[in-house]
Homo-oligomer: A and B are copies of this chain.
Amino acid sequence: MAVYTDVSDEALTAFLRDYDLGGLVAFRGIAEGVENSNFSLRTGAGDFILTLYEKRVDPGELPWFIGLMRHLAARNVSCPLPVAGRDGEPLRVLNNRPAAITTFLPGVWPRRVRPDHCRPLGEALARLHLAGRDYPPERRNALGPDSWRPLLDRSRDGGDAVQPGLVAELDQALDRILPAWPRALPRGQIHADLFPDNVFFLQREVSGLIDFYFACTDLLAYDLAVCVNAWCFEADGQFNVTKARALVAGYESVRPLGPEERDALPVLAQGSAIRFALTRLFDWLNTPPGAMVTRKDPMDYVRRLRFHLAVDGPEGYGL
């Protein structure tokens, strides 16, 4: 649920004067996304999304994100295209927050993932990776492996209240994952948060990828491992090998994995699971009860982590 900052009609009308988008026709808050405030916006020129960037996004990094989306959209990746104002600048200020207007993408995100979502998802992810190759600026992954132990430290006091022994279990997992972390795999621009609510489908094809505000420069196969975690487990926590096979097959139909990437899949999946377990644990312990954000259970990702720690090699994912 995400409208943290509301926008008055006067402020919006004044803001739109800096764009060539015609007059304001409609404006509604969108109950999706958890980091920023998003609104659907209709003007004389069509439909758009207005995003106000809230405190979790570093304003200094916004030009990197905006540049990446422009780069990808120009290469036919269906991602939001930032709309420039009359002065050529897509990044502006509204209600004292950085703000941008992007194009509206059609499609519906899958509330319940089916196997037939996974192949087109894999294809779209690989196309995103290829399209990002010639976007030179780099952004460090702020939630990469170097951040995991410090993240756990911030939940060390409260963590065992979520489940007894949880902090020790995560410590031991990090003791195993961090030394095994692959450093020499192919790198590039990754989405890093491609959960189902960030992928729109239309007639069984991917019609849009959204929410690039965790994107960064990191191992390409790590992005695939994020998708394995986000798309290939059932609501009851069971791994669905059919979905994983379809995801990887779709990815490889566009960008085949190298043998070292395939071999690294288990540790990449372990890392991706612990990354989401750790941020959810921190949020769980630090979200005030009255907040408008639904806390996500960190244990969902602890259980995925346990699954991946028991996997011996890529065969565990049906490869």
Contacts and interface: CB of A to CB of B under 8 A. Distances in A.
Interface of A: 1-3, 6-10, 12, 23-32, 40, 42, 104-112, 200-203, 289-290, 292, 294
A110 B12 CA distance: 11
Given A30-B29, A32-B29, A9 B201 contact: yes
B32 A28 contact: yes
Given A28-B30, A31-B30, A40-B40, A111 B292 contact: no
Contact of A106 (B1, B7, B42, B202): B42
Q: How many copies does the complex hold?
A: 2
A34 to B, nearest CB: 12
A7 B112 CA distance: 10
Contact of A2 (B31, B32, B40, B201): B31
A225 to B, nearest CB: 25
A10 B289 contact: no
A29 B26 contact: no
A26 B42 CA distance: 14
A285 to B, nearest CB: 15
Contact of A24 (B12, B104, B108, B111): B108
A110 B27 CA distance: 11
A8 B201 CA distance: 12
B108 A1 contact: no
A38 to B, nearest CB: 8
Given A3-B31, A9-B111, A30-B31, 9 more contacts: A1-B1, A1-B3, A1-B31, A2-B31, A8-B112, A9-B112, A25-B202, A26-B200, A292-B294
